[in-house]
Each structure stands twice: as C-alpha cells, then as structure tokens.
C-alpha cells in the first residue's frame, strides 16, 4: 500500500493519534516533522492547512486534515484490525470519548496542565505556575469523568481497542510523570490501569516522542507558539 505521510510536530498528541492507528494497522508511514510553531508559518498555511493546525495526512495524491477524519480514513482503508465497534452503543461511546478529548481534555488538561509541566520546560518556554494551579479543578473534573466512563472495562469503548483509546492515550500517557497528573489519577485505579495497558502496546513504543525525533529529525526553527 502507498506510504502515508503525516505532517506535524513530534510529541503532539494530535499527531501521535493517527500514527498509533497506522501502527495498529501495520501500514507504512513516515512523519514530515515540524519544529514547535512550524505550523503557524505562512508557508505551512498556504501548502498544508489553512487554519494552521496539525496534523495533515498525505496518502498518494489525497490530502486530509482534522485528526478524527484521518483516524476514520485509516480505519476504513485498512479494515483489519477494526478500530470502530460494530455495536451501536459501543460506537456511540467511542464517539463520545473522542468528543470529550477535543472539547475538554485538550484545553483543560493537555493545554492547561501537561504542556506547562512537561513540554514548556523542554523548549525554554516560561510557565505561569499560578495558572497551572488554577487549572487543576477543571482538569480533575475531566479525569474523573473519563474514569467513570471507563468503569471496569479494558478499553474506553468496551472490550476491544478503538479509535477512542488512540485519541485519548496521547493526552493521558504522561499524567503519571508529573506531580499534579499523578495526583489526578491517584483515586482512579481503573484509569491508571488503562494507561498502563495501552502504553504497553507496540504502537506506543514506536511513536514515543524521542523515538520520532531520532527517526525524523526536526530542522531548527524559531518557536513562534505552541500548537
């Protein structure tokens, strides 16, 4: 099958999600890496994404942006292993969790807490500690609800891995790695177990931040803003 190219910033949870899907499907892919802020350049907006977001997928002469659309495309173009449940209720739960990621996990948790605690220091970006502390209650609310939805299931949409897990895990995998994140998941053994269960998959090892940087070095560019 023709190789898939993902344009995006290594380490971005939205870039990692489609890479995970491609790995789970055993499909050939490469990352066209951007430096932090590289998606905000006029060239990127003109060539790849008019709204300056990541990722963008190229598959032959077909170009697609929006992470959810990319995930659906990958799941349909290579049906096995299926990453979308057949049962209507499980499919609805998958879609619900994906919506939660976009609407609540990304802004309340990843953007407001994980980025300043783990990513910003790596790039020398100043951190407003008071803003992080103020963001914790809203982030905790999201973590609590995800734990409730997971319940005693192995995966977010039932007994099998789905697109919901691939969309969510890049945002939650780092929670145990910093104090506020570890505190947020401490009351939720089931969610902590889910993180470890999904983290152990070979697709996760193949898409780790440092692994991507080793395979696809990023040319040095000024940091304009984080994506």
Q: From CA 101, how far away is CA 95, in angstroms rounded?
A: 10
Q: Which of 130, 226, 148, 137 is nearest to 191 (CA)?
A: 148
User: Are 83 and 163 spatial neighbours (Cβ–Cβ below 8 Å)?
Assistant: yes
Share of the chain above pLDDT 90, in %: 92
Question: What pLDDT, in 10s, does the model give residues 6-43?
Answer: 999 999 999 999 999 999 999 999 999 999 999 999 99
Q: Residue 129: is its pLDDT beyond 50?
A: yes
**Helices 129-150, 88-100: crossing angle, 10 deg rounding:** 180
Q: Residue 219: is its pLDDT beyond 80?
A: no
Q: Say what the pLDDT of residue 122 is.
A: 87
User: For the residues 145-153, what does the mean pLDDT come to?
Assistant: 98
Q: Say what the pLDDT of residue 226 is.
A: 42
Q: Say what the pLDDT of residue 220 is.
A: 64
Q: From CA 34, how far away is CA 48, in angstroms rounded?
A: 12
User: Are 7 and 32 spatial neighbours (Cβ–Cβ below 8 Å)?
Assistant: yes
H helix intervals, 26-87 = 42-47, 67-77
Residues of the chain with CATH 1.20.1050.10: 88-201
Does the predicted TM-score (pTM) go above 0.85? yes
Q: Say what the pLDDT of residue 210 is.
A: 94
User: Beta 29-33 vs 56-59: how paired, if at all?
Assistant: unpaired
CATH fold of 4-82+205-215, please? Answer: Glutaredoxin (3.40.30)
Q: List CB contacts of 88: < 8 A, sequence separation 6 or more.
A: none
Q: List CB contacts of 78: < 8 A, sequence separation 6 or more.
A: 1, 25, 26, 27
Q: Say what the pLDDT of residue 227 is.
A: 40
Residues of the chain with CATH 3.40.30.10: 4-82+205-215
CATH class of 88-201: mainly alpha
Question: What pLDDT, in 10s, does the model give residues 57-72?
Answer: 999 999 999 999 999 9
Q: Is 113 exposed, middle or buried (0-12, 13-18, 19+ CB in 10 A)?
A: buried
């Amino acid at each position: 099958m023709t190789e898939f190219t993902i344009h995006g910033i290594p380490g971005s949870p939205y870039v990692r999600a489609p890479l995970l899907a491609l790995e789970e499907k055993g499909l050939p892919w490469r990352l066209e890496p951007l430096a932090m802020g590289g998606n905000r350049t006029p060239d990127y907006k003109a060539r790849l994404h008019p709204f300056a977001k990541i990722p963008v997928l190229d598959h032959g002469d077909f170009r697609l942006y929006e992470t959810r659309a990319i995930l659906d495309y990958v799941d349909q173009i290579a049906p096995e292993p299926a990453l979308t449940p057949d049962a209507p209720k499980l499919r609805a739960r998958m879609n619900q969790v994906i919506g939660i990621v976009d609407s609540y996990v990304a802004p309340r948790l990843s953007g407001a807490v994980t980025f300043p605690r783990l990513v910003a220091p790596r790039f020398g970006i100043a951190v407003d500690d008071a803003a992080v502390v103020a963001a914790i209650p809203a982030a905790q609310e999201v973590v609590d609800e995800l734990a409730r939805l997971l319940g005693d299931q192995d995966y977010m949409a039932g007994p099998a891995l789905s697109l919901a897990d691939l969309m969510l895990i890049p945002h939650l995998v780092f929670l145990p790695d910093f104090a506020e994140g570890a505190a947020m998941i401490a009351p939720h053994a089931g969610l902590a177990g889910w993180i470890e269960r999904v983290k152990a998959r070979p697709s996760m090892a193949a898409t780790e931040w440092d692994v991507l940087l080793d395979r696809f070095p990023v040319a040095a560019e000024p940091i304009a803003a984080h994506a």
